Amino acid sequence: MPLVVVWSPSGEATSVRVRTQDLDVESAGDPGTFTVAPGTLRTRTDGPEDERVRVERRIDIDLTGALPGSDMHVDVRNGVDISSVQGGI
């Protein structure tokens, strides 16, 4: 089953990075949602597996009147800890 990660407000960041223990995806823009594909989160057969999903959003800011080569950016990092369990039918 996929895990849909949603954040708001969306559309304000220059780029977004979504990470888990086995996933690291960065994209231009700020869509406000990302789907972690089934099988991406770690699981164990003998009990729950602790996992963390992190969303890092960055906005690049133009510094009008600054020295050439100057730049500024703001990063916002949020994360949530979850436990995943391997299931079967």
The predicted-structure confidence for 7-33, as pLDDT tens digits, reads as follows: 998 888 999 999 999 999 999 999 999
Look at residues 23, 14, 10, 6 and name the one whose alpha carbon lies nearest to residue 72: 14
pLDDT above 80: residue 88 = no
pLDDT at 48: 87
Residue 87 forms part of a structural domain: no
Domain span including residue 26: 3-82
- Distance in angstroms (rounded) separating the CA atoms of residues 74 and 4: 25
Alpha helix ranges (H) inside the chain: none
Residue 50 forms part of a structural domain: yes
0.85 exceeded by pTM:
no
- Distance in angstroms (rounded) separating the CA atoms of residues 49 and 42: 7
What's the token pair of residue 30? Answer: 């700020």
Residue 88 forms part of a structural domain: no
DSSP lists the bridge partners of residue 80 as 53
Instruction: Indicate the number of domains in the chain.
Output: 1
pLDDT above 50: residue 89 = no
Q: What is the mean pLDDT of the chain?
A: 90
